[in-house]
Structure 1
Amino acid sequence: MIIAAWIIVIVLFIIGMVGAVYPVLPGAVAIYAAYFVYGWMIGFEPFGFWFWLTQTTILVVLLIADYAVSALGVKKFGGTKASVIGSTIGLILGPFVIPIAGLLIGPFLGAVIGELIIGTEWKQALRAGVGALVGFFSSVVVKLLLQALMIILFFVWVLQN
């Protein structure tokens, strides 16, 4: 049972880290779920109030930062709400329409199309698209760092007890 638990925990950690880049995977939620798998299959003893407070805070920050960092990238390049919405739609749909390349093309085209729909000129719409890419890459870096921190803290807590 312990080996099965560790396999599931590690798989959830991997899914979580891949989800930092590939938005259709649950990301930080998968990492958070791994704690419950560990608890149910091995034991909740290592986890106390401070563990849950720390991990939940990181999870909430990640969920908010994921959208905020991407939106900030678009706004920094002069994009409007339309390009933020377009880039978000493109980020979700892009990987399904064009696997892998859709991760980059989707947010870019989504932002550009969002801007063009509201009547923005081409040059500014393209700037918003670049901003969507900058925001996406920035968001990925933030997610990778914070999710790695979640995993490291898990091992610190488990190995301490």
Structure 2
Amino acid sequence: MSILGMIIAIIFMAAGVIGTLLPALPGAPLIWLGMFFYGLLVKFHNLPWTFFLGQGLAVALIFLIDYLAGVWGVNRYGGSRESAWGSVIGGLVGVIILGPFGLIFGPFIGAVAGELYNKRPLEKAFRVGMGTIIGFMGGVILKLSIEAVMIIWFFIAVSR
């Protein structure tokens, strides 16, 4: 075991978890990178390619959750197809315009715009928009759970 590698891995993992809570850092990719840097320093002892493939699939799942959580919130709160698309497009455009905070406010604005486009009352549109925020928060909890499994798996693998 490399002490330097472990310190680097833990720093990356901590930054990744913080990035999941505050969308200014790419959470799961940082966790994966910490594991990879550790692997480089120990010549991948106890960390076979299947480990990194599994961890990579977990990162991909987290990215999928990022996009689907808002759509789930739209559907759960009775949103239309247009508001679901608005949520996705709003998330993408929001990140470009608002940076990390666009991940929260972009889907909200997009979902509201989609409902207003369908000539729904502002109250209904706002409720659907709030559904995207609720979906986002649920997604954060789910992502943190997956990241915890990733980190636990790493420590089990390196302790062998």
Q: TM-score range by the shorter chain?
A: 0.7 to 0.9
Say if 2:111 is the partner of 1:111. yes
After TM superposition, the score normalised by the length of structure 2 is 0.79
SS at match of 1:25: coil
Cα pair 2:69 2:132 within 8 Å, conserved: no
Cα pair 1:9 1:38 within 8 Å, conserved: yes
- 1:3 Cα offset (Å): 4.1
Cα pair 2:70 2:107 within 8 Å, conserved: no
What RMSD over aligned residues (CA atoms) do the two structures have, in Å? 2.9
- The residue aligned with 1:9 is 9
Percent identity between the aligned chains?
37
Distance 1:34 1:64 in 2: 21
Distance 1:156 1:64 in 2: 26
**More deviation in 52-61 or 121-130?**
52-61
Equivalent residue letter for 1:37: F
- 1:65 Cα offset (Å): 2.2
Distance 2:61 2:128 in 1: 25
**More deviation in 127-136 or 140-149?**
127-136
Distance 2:70 2:123 in 1: 20
After TM superposition, the score normalised by the length of structure 1 is 0.78
Distance 1:119 1:65 in 2: 29
Query: Which runs of no fewer than 5 residues in structure 1 stay unpaired?
Result: none
Equivalences for residues 138-149 of structure 1 within 5 A: 138-149=138-149
Distance 2:135 2:105 in 1: 13
- 1:156 Cα offset (Å): 0.4
- The residue aligned with 2:39 is 39
Cα pair 1:79 1:128 within 8 Å, conserved: yes
Report Cα offsets for 1:15-59 as digits up to 9, x if no partner: 211222223321111111112111122320111244233222222
SS at match of 1:57: helix
Distance 1:36 1:73 in 2: 34
May I ask how many residue pairs the two structures share in their alignment? 158
Distance 1:118 1:15 in 2: 41
Cα pair 2:19 2:25 within 8 Å, conserved: yes
Query: Which runs of no fewer than 5 residues in structure 2 stay unpaired?
Result: none
- The residue aligned with 1:19 is 19
